[in-house]
Chain A
């Protein structure tokens, strides 16, 4: 399966209007097989506790080894400033960028229980708004403003890094 995923991503369109999003396997093993080699960017989703951050760091290192241009963490399920600070500190210490911060939001598990898309189940949820901002920031950073959306604004509102 990994070789097929890799070739599908390679074959996906490169124009600014085209977007390919790969939801990867939970185990980091796929990374050593180069599944994401032809992606422009990898977002490593982390929660504010050590094991999750450490997995994110390992995945980011593997993605760097694959030669991905942009590798960043996304802090998810953040309940307060203290948790955000913990992720920031970890990112700084490891020279990692934080591309987005998504607040903890009951709407997300709620959507899962309702077997619905978060965007349909709770379109106004803070987490959905944060994911939307992340998505637009990624597209803008790639010079990929959609038609009719005006010009690309350059870099995403990236934070952290080292």
Chain B
């Protein structure tokens, strides 16, 4: 299942995203949580101390290559997660798309 959570700022979407991720991981699912916000704070609602994001390398610029259909990753998702994700409580993997220091540039 791939589910996108949307809503106005302050609607509670990040608390809901984080809690859904934790509950499903605890129930035995393998969960990848993606923080697609340019002001990332999903880590907190997953129970991952935000300062752990400081150790994360930014996603490389050459992660995408163009294809006739659009674009695809130049690495497997597992490879991307190995180097760029954090593992939190209940085994949730967190992938942050916009680095806090680079917020707004995406």
Residues of A within 8 A of B (CB): 1-14, 16-26, 28, 30-31, 35-36, 38-47, 51-52, 55-56, 59, 63, 68, 74, 76-77, 102, 108, 111-112, 115-120, 128, 131-132, 134-136, 138-139, 142, 144, 146-149
CB contact under 8 A between A26 and B7, given known A146-B24, A146-B27: yes
Considering the complex of A and B, which 9 residue pairs feature the smallest CB-CB distances, nearest first? Answer: A1-B106, A146-B28, A45-B7, A117-B47, A26-B9, A36-B4, A23-B17, A135-B20, A142-B1
A-contacting residues, B17-62, CB 8 Å: 17-25, 27-38, 42, 44-47, 50, 59
Do A25 and B16 have beta carbons less than 8 Å apart?
Answer: no
Tell me whether B15 and A46 are in contact (CB under 8 A): no
Q: Are the C-beta atoms of B63 and A4 separated by less than 8 Å?
A: yes
The answer to whether A149 and B28 touch (CB under 8 A), given A4-B64, A117-B18, is yes
The smallest C-beta distance from A135 to any residue of chain B, in angstroms, reads 4
A19 touches B21 (CB 8 A): yes
Q: Are A23 and B28 in contact (CB under 8 A)?
A: no
User: Contact at B27–A136, with CB atoms within 8 Å?
Assistant: yes
- CB contacts (< 8 Å) of B8 on chain A: these are 26, 45, 47, 51-52, 55-56
Q: How many interface residues does B have (CB within 8 Å)?
A: 57
Contacts of B2 in A (CB 8 A): 9, 12, 14, 19-20, 22, 38-41
Choice from A20, A46, A56, A102 contacting B1 with Cβ under 8 Å: A20
Q: Name the CB-closest residue of B to A107.
A: B15
Contact of A41 among B3, B12, B63, B89 (CB under 8 A): B3
* Chain B residues whose C-beta falls within 8 Å of the C-beta of A111 in the assembled complex: 15, 45
Q: How far, in angstroms, from A118 to B79 measured CA to CA in the complex?
A: 30
Q: Compute how far the CA of A85 lies from the CA of B98 in the bound complex, rounded to whole angstroms.
A: 38
CB <8 Å contact, B6 and A45: yes
| Structural contact, A131 and B32, CB atoms closer than 8 A | no
